[in-house]
Each structure stands twice: as C-alpha cells, then as structure tokens.
Amino acid sequence: MDLTPRTSGDASATAQTMKPRRRWLPMVIVAVAIVAGGVVVTRFLTSAIDYYCNVDEIGVRSGCDEGRRIRVQGVVVEGSLAKSDGATTFKLSFHDKTVAVRYEGDPGGVFQECIPVVAHGRLQGGLFASDRIEVKHSNEYVEKNDTRIEESDKEAAACSVQEG
C-alpha cells in the first residue's frame, strides 16, 4: 500500500475526474411528465368551457353561437329519428324551438324519441354536428344536468301526449 502524499498535479486531475455528471434520464422523465400534465389540463379546460344551451337559446344567449363547441339540451322530436349511412339524424326541441342534429354513429342505449338528451358538438349552417350524446337516464347526464331535468321532463311529457 502506497502512503505517499499526492502531488498538486494529481489533485487537479482527480478534481476533474470527480466532476458531477448530469443525469439526463431524470430530466427527460420530468419533462415528459410536465407535457403530459399540460395535455390533461388542456383537455379538461376545453371540455369545461363548453357552454350548456337549451335549443331555444342557440343564437340568442351569449356563448350559444354558431361555430362554437357547445352542449345542447332538448327533447328528441317524435317522428324525426332516422338512421342512414352510419349516421343518426333527429331533431331536438325545447320551448317550441327546434334544431336538426346529425350524429355520426348510433347513440345506442336507451336513446329514442320523446326523451331529453344533451348533444355535444357544433352548430354549422343550421345543422348541429354532434360527436357525443348523453341520454337523460344515464348517470352521467343526471349528474351533470340535475337542475335541467325537471324542465326537460315537462317537454318530454308534452311530446308523449302528442302521440295519441
């Protein structure tokens, strides 16, 4: 074992070799986590600012304008439901105002005429292009629209009375 003291030249060489190394992997993981968090927050905020509008508020109330992403509540008009070319078309009505809706796909579930629904999408040239439908009886609809259910039930009841 060599116990002789080091010379000054050796100390500087040791200091250079002992230089702290940056660890890139942890920094990359943190950067990816920040970007992923930003994407999640942006998606949440985008859906949170979609305005809820009743059919009669389209073009009348601020935020319920054509071209803007909105959620429209109304009752599916009796006799208006049609399916063709993989799309479902129907009319939504609320307080004697009506809007035509085109939904790409089959809304499925308990979707039918004379029930309240919320359609998510954009109004384009008088046609509401929907990419998502919430049916009143789903838990998601009840949870998000609790204050609107009573009024929409009255509209739906009026629709079923017109049947007979």
pLDDT, tens digit, 9 for 90 and up, residues 135-148 = 865 555 556 656 66
The pLDDT assigned to 163 comes to 45
pLDDT digits (tens, 9 = 90+) for 112-133: 888 888 999 988 888 999 998 8
Q: Give the gyration radius of the chain's Cα atoms.
A: 30
What six digits make up the tokens of 118?
A: 């919320």
Residue position matching structure tokens 């009506």: 98
Sequence-distant (≥ 6) Cβ neighbours of residue 117 within 8 angstroms: 73, 74, 75, 76, 92, 107, 111, 133, 134, 135, 136, 141
Question: For residue range 45-83, what is the model confidence (pLDDT) as tens digits?
Answer: 665 566 788 888 888 888 888 888 888 899 999 999 888
Average pLDDT, rounded, for the chain: 78
Domain boundaries, the chain: 51-163
pLDDT reported for residue 20: 62
Would the pLDDT of 164 be above 50? no
Q: What is the pTM of this model?
A: 0.57
51-163: which CATH topology? Answer: OB fold (Dihydrolipoamide Acetyltransferase, E2P) (2.40.50)
